[in-house]
Amino acid sequence: MIVKTNYHGDIQIKEDDIVTVVGGMLGYEDMEKFVIIKDEDIFVEFLQNIDEQVAFAVMDPFMAKPDYSFDIPENIIHILGIDSPEDVVIKTVVVIPDDISKIRTNLQAPIVFNKKNNRGVQIVLDDTYPMRYEFYDKEDKQ
């Protein structure tokens, strides 16, 4: 299958590469089918919709905030079919502005994935974490 992207041109993917974000992403609830595009040169990955040229820059939030922690709600564990903590992968959306020192990630709305079945859900946490966590100079922020 060919997927058209804004940043990577046309890419070939296999059916096994497709991840389902149940209920879509916030603001894009009608888009549930994505592929994760990895770039070995940078820490950011792209959650690319397979039907539209819409992509979200995502990252491992523990790179920005090593002590990031939250409980996954029971209904999400059930929806995703999570059997073990080892099945879980967490990503957060990243905003990369022209001024790289203002790079930030949304720790309030992580995407929880079950890597065994390629299903995920974006959840919204309480106010424990900010929507705009700047982490360019994270040594000073911790």
In tens, the pLDDT along 81-139 reads 999 999 999 999 999 999 988 999 999 999 999 999 999 999 999 988 999 999 986 55
- State mean pLDDT over 47-54: 94
Collect all residues with Cβ–Cβ distance below 8 Å to 89 and sequence separation of at least 6.
112, 113, 114, 115
Structural domains in the chain? 2-141 (2.30.290.10)
Look at 31-35, 72-76, 117-121, 137-141 and tell me which has the smallest mean pLDDT.
137-141
Q: According to DSSP H, which parts of the chain are helical?
A: 61-64, 74-80, 138-141
More confident site: 6 or 137 = 6
pTM assigned to the model: 0.90
In the structure encoding, which two tokens stand for residue 53, read together? 């040229």
Distance CA 63, CA 83 (A): 25
